[in-house]
Structure 1
Amino acid sequence: MMKWIRYGTKESGLSLVEVLASLVILSIVSLVLTSFFTNALAYAKGNQSKTVMVNLARNALFYMEKQSFEPIETYFSNPSRTAISCLVSGCDAAVSQLAEDPAVLQQILNPNINGVQYTISVIYQRDMHNNMLHDSDKQNMAEELMPVMVRVERVNGTASARNAAEVEGYIASERVR
């Protein structure tokens, strides 16, 4: 007959309750980490989109700086005109006259990048310009520079800071370029 030898009264190993408790804790930690990485990915994608919009705004500002100053100055001399923008379908006649090539202006103001449609507005900062004109130290400079803000928005985006970008700059006359 065989004799069983016991080395202690305690059994070694994990009980079912301990295994279930550790699985619950592991699941909670996994969900928290998954949520963190999902939010980080969305944030990174938003930053990438914002970078594209800032670059589009800089491109539009650079393009407008290279256009003839006189037509732009004349366009904004009308108090009802506060911005240069085009619909995706096309620019109106007054805006089309501001560029040497209206088709290029249409593409600059309504770019489609990686399948995302953007719209760009070049907004004249009339109050800032008037303040510069009335400041004796800045008056000479104000006659040669036109302050503008370039605003880029996603066409199908929700209204949020992540779906718009703004860049401020000046359109200079040919005399100071």
Structure 2
Amino acid sequence: MTKLIKNHKGLTLIETMLSITLLGIVMLGVMTLFKQAYLYTVLNEDKTVGINVARNALMYMKKQSFIDLKNYFTDTNKELKILICKKTDENGNTIENYQFFNKDASIPSTCQNVEINNTKYKITVQAEENKQNYQNYFIPIKVVVTWESSNIERSTQLKGVITSEDIR
């Protein structure tokens, strides 16, 4: 008579399949979190670029003539557009510079919106109401940057002050 050794301590096929199914369900939930985190990161990257574009535009506006801007922004409803314009110097080199235009002015063909990572950023500058009596020394402005991401228009804004050359 032969004795058969039976071992009942192993996993059955049903137990193995059930554990793999449960592990798959948990992994699907975790992968959804990774996808959402990635989309949030991309959105924040675009917003960071938008804020940096606004900071550059604000620095550009601070370098402009205070008197000219004060005369232009006597009406707080006025708006300026800032574009990148290409010029060629005497050596044939192409130079790109910021240039601001009245909202309703015709734009030269050499000027376009700021483009970074194949995304076009539209820059507008608006004067804000000067609540203190410092009109002779400060012009409060708001730089608004808008762009399109995934067919949704996004925007960010940055507030700043243009100071007179007398106190710089």
TM-score by shorter chain over 0.5: yes
User: Hey, what does 1:153 align to over in structure 2?
Assistant: 146
**Deviations along 1:100-139, whole A, 9 cap, x unmatched?**
xx98xx55xx21001110101111112xx0x21xxxxxx2
**2: CA distance between counterparts of 1:26 and 1:17?**
14
Corresponding position: 1:170 with 2:167: no
- Higher relative contact order (CA closer than 8 Å, sequence separation 6+): 1
Larger strand proportion, structure 1 or 2? 2
Q: From the two aligned structures, give the one with the greater helix fraction.
A: 1
Alignment TM-score, normalising by the size of structure 2: 0.75
- The count of corresponding residues between Structure 1 and Structure 2 is 151
Runs (5+) with no aligned partner, structure 1: 133-138
Evaluate the alpha carbon distance shift between residue 118 and residue 34 of structure 1 in structure 2; reply closer, same or farther with a 3 A threshold: same
Residue equivalent to 1:55: 52
The answer for the alignment partner of 2:34 in structure 1 is 37
**CA shift at 1:87, angstroms?**
7.8
> Contact between 1:85 and 1:120, CA under 8 Å: does it hold in 2?
yes
CA contact (8 A) 2:83 2:114 kept: no
Long gaps (5+) in structure 2: 85-98
Give the whole-Å Cα distance in 2 for the aligned partners of 1:80 and 1:124. Answer: 7
Q: Secondary structure at the match of 1:63?
A: helix
Q: Where does 1:13-32 land on structure 2 (aligned, <5 Å)?
A: 13-32=10-29
Q: RMSD of the alignment, in Å?
A: 3.0
- Tell me which stretches of 4 or more aligned residues in structure 1 moved more than 3 Å: 91-97
Q: Once the 2 structures are TM-superposed, how far is the Cα of residue 147 of structure 1 from its aligned partner?
A: 0.4
Question: How much identity, in percent, do the aligned residues show?
Answer: 31
Cα distance change of structure 1 residues 84 and 94 upon mapping to structure 2, 3 Å threshold: closer
